[in-house]
Amino acid sequence: MPIVAIISAVVFVPWNGVFAWLAPLPDTIQEQVDDAIDHGLDGIIVYVDEPGKPSALYHAGWKDRSNQVPADPEALFKIASISKLYIAAATVKLVHNSSLSLDDTLSEHLPELEGRIENAGQITLRMLLQHRSGIPNFVDQEEFDWSKSHTDIGEHLQLVFNKHANFESDSRYQYSNTNYLLIGRILDNDLGYSHHQYIKEQLLDPLGLTHTYNLLGQVNSTDVVSGYHHPYEGDTKELDWVTPGGSMVATARDVGIFLRALHDGSLLNSDEQAIYSSVYEYEHTGWLLGYYSIARYHKEMDTVVVQFVNTTGENTLMVSNIVYNRIVRILCDNEN
């Protein structure tokens, strides 16, 4: 694990505006989580699922800094692009039952996009899932504003209408949130009802995930961790996001259970698993203003680690990643 091995140090020292970790690794995950709050993070929640041990939750800092509410390990969190794992799994189930085909084209399912999205007749469902469509990412467009609520999916789609493709479809990989926006629409059309309902019935309910929701509007806002972005003023919790591939909220425990099930065959049967492995990944990060999440399965330890941090901006992304890698290093050291 070369990245983790390089990051072996607790104290941050400023160097050209960037922080480097220098002190020895803490002995425990809780010590590392507590230490992270001293380096610009408002709150942190970590879920660990190791083989042969009860799952564990660690937390420090604030759930709501303004009202001095301590971090709650069972609180809901905007998981942002981790939502794409759920959409990919739902799509695979529909492909397996022949409702959809990976070779279906965008224009076959959404003919109204022909002439508005370049190469719509050549872009397949497989390319959308794999981020190989060439369709521009709507969040990269000049008109896009992170600092407001985004409740109009059509508005997001319009940002890429009549734009040149970034590359010829299927010629290379480039991550684009627009891909999963379009998959959400395809699923809705194919099902005849919201893919949110399908995800709940086919993925969440069978796993007993009662603390995972497709939309922020489905939950009580007091149950959600507050988010903070530098230099944004105030709490970002009320900034809504409904576009598929970034809209879900969940607890760290629920995300960890889902990720374990995605790997071990308890969510998908063997044929579905083979399809999934051919089209998408088994881990993800998520970023929205004030929210950064990491969900990964570490095969060498057969361990799932999920981390939620409710601070973004400035150097906090780097801090969050260092904290995560150091937690994994602690787990590796304890295993050895």
Q: Which pTM does this prediction carry?
A: 0.93
Domains (ranges, CATH) in the chain? 2-335 (3.40.710.10)
To the nearest whole percent, how much of the chain has pLDDT over 90?
Answer: 91
β-pairing verdict for 303-309 and 311-312: unpaired
Q: How far apart are CA 298 and CA 305, in angstroms?
A: 8
Task: Please say whether the beta carbons of 245 and 84 come within 8 A.
Answer: yes
DSSP 180: H
To the nearest whole percent, how much of the chain has pLDDT over 70?
Answer: 93
Mean pLDDT, all residues of the chain: 93
Residue 12 pLDDT exceeds 80: no
138 is written with which tokens? Answer: 């709507």
Residue 260 pLDDT exceeds 50: yes
Determine the pLDDT at residue 24.
79
DSSP helix/strand/coil, 141: coil
pLDDT band at 25 (very low <50, low <70, confident <90, very high): confident
Task: Please say whether the beta carbons of 134 and 119 come within 8 A.
Answer: yes
Determine the pLDDT at residue 10.
34
150 is written with which tokens? Answer: 């985004």
Residue 22 pLDDT exceeds 70: no
DSSP 218: G
193 is written with which tokens? Answer: 């009802």
Taking the CA atoms of residue 199, residue 205, residue 208 and residue 211 in that order, the dihedral angle to the nearest 10 degrees is 50
